[in-house]
Structure 1
Amino acid sequence: MNNRRMKNGILLLLLLFVLTLISLGHAHYSLGKEKVTHLRFFYQENLNGDHPTTVLVAKPKGTTVNASNLAPFGAVSVLDTPLTEGQDPNSKVVGQAQGLSVSVGQDKPMSVFMVDFGFTSGEFNGSSISVLSRNPILETDRELAIVGGRGKFRMARGFVNLHRNYINVTSGVVIVEHNVTVFHYE
């Protein structure tokens, strides 16, 4: 009797597995054709002044934050930073980067960057790209992983190549060029 129950259980699991595969296959086909989109924009960070775009919200007890130690290990910052068409801070705003950054580097500054690049104009207005990646913040050139999106970027995956174009530690201004390659469905 136990052998029969075991066989029925195995058959039931196999049936559920096959049904899951079939449903996943149908879901894939209903997404439409996959396409690749290339985007370029500039991240305009301002750490100081009357309207900072990135704010430190938590830091380890006993640590100080200053020009030589902007991101001590364990620090958490939130951000709401404009994305612009050009490097000039007065160029057209095409979106906002909103999220948080956690300092995870004990020996050298490194962060885990969790951010949503939400677009507010153009073809992708109302859509966004989600990034979750390690970010070696002192390197001029680096790459971040795209792990999802919404709107026209639903089910997105891809990467963002960053190039720091400008930094002024005294004023707290950082301008980073973002070249995005995103795979998504039409």
Structure 2
Amino acid sequence: MEKAVLKLFFVAVFMFIPLLGHSSSSTEENRELDRWFQKLDYSKPKLTRFHFYFHDTVSGPDQTSLPVVPSPKSIKPSLTLFGQVNIFDNPLTKEPEITSERLGVAQGLYSFASQEEYSVLLAMTIVFTSGTNNGSSVTILGRNPVLQPRREFPIVGGTGDFRLARGFATASNYVANASMAIVEYNVTVLHY
């Protein structure tokens, strides 16, 4: 009998411990999110377009992209860098010059995912650091055959002003060489 009571006591304690950790701020945040979701029934999606330049520097003193997993050479050398994974924190600017107005950063990773062509799997979050969307973000996930003149990617989500974002982005190389690339992006986002 004592074991059953003791067991019941521990079950009750462990069920209620998580409830004790909730603060009034998390409760208010939950209420705010509930109100936001309730408004969706009456909201129409907004369409927002962005244009910017992505600066990816893979070598030199201002490097913004680093290989964190090298291409495995034990299988066979790959001209496409198959298997390599890079992580990046790249500036986004209004014009192609790195000195032009900074709009935000692109943070994420790309993995070289093809044995036949120079193509990467891109997972990138665009974080706006200026303007009316400061602090909001949009996330892209998709295949990027980097040598093609124009590529298209899906928008898979967003935060802040871009909650429940969906849409697409197109990219074109403005400048590309062995040490860096400047990529022109046009982004179309549907959000609430």
One-letter amino acid matched to 2:88: L
- The alignment's TM-score, normalised by the length of structure 2, stands at 0.75
- Judged with a 3 Å threshold, the aligned counterparts in structure 2 of structure 1 residues 59 and 180 are, in CA distance, closer, same or farther, namely same
User: Where does residue 20 of structure 1 map in the other structure?
Assistant: none
- Residue 83 of structure 2: which of 74, 86, 90 is its match? 74
User: Where does residue 182 of structure 2 map in the other structure?
Assistant: 175
| SS of residue in 2 equivalent to 1:43 | strand
User: Where does residue 45 of structure 1 map in the other structure?
Assistant: 56
**Residue 60 (structure 1) shift:** 3.3
Please say which structure displays the higher CA radius of gyration.
2
**Residue 50 (structure 1) shift:** 1.5
One-letter amino acid matched to 2:182: I
CA distance in 2, matches of 1:134, 1:80: 19
The within-5 A match list for 1:48-127 is 48-62=59-73, 69=79, 71-127=80-136
More deviation in 160-169 or 149-158? 160-169
Pairwise CA RMSD = 2.0
Q: In percent, how many aligned pairs have the same letter? A: 38
**Residue 168 (structure 1) shift:** 2.4
CA distance in 1, matches of 2:134, 2:38: 28
**Residue 29 (structure 1) shift:** 1.1
CA distance in 1, matches of 2:188, 2:50: 7
CA distance in 1, matches of 2:168, 2:45: 16
CA distance in 2, matches of 1:122, 1:140: 30
- Residue 165 of structure 2: which of 148, 156, 166 is its match? 156
One-letter amino acid matched to 2:56: E
Post-superposition CA distance 1:126-154 (Å, at most 9, x none): 00000111111111211111000000011
One-letter amino acid matched to 1:48: S
| SS of residue in 2 equivalent to 1:106 | coil
Long gaps (5+) in structure 1: 1-24
Say if 2:72 and 2:84, in contact at 8 Å, map to a contact too.
Answer: no
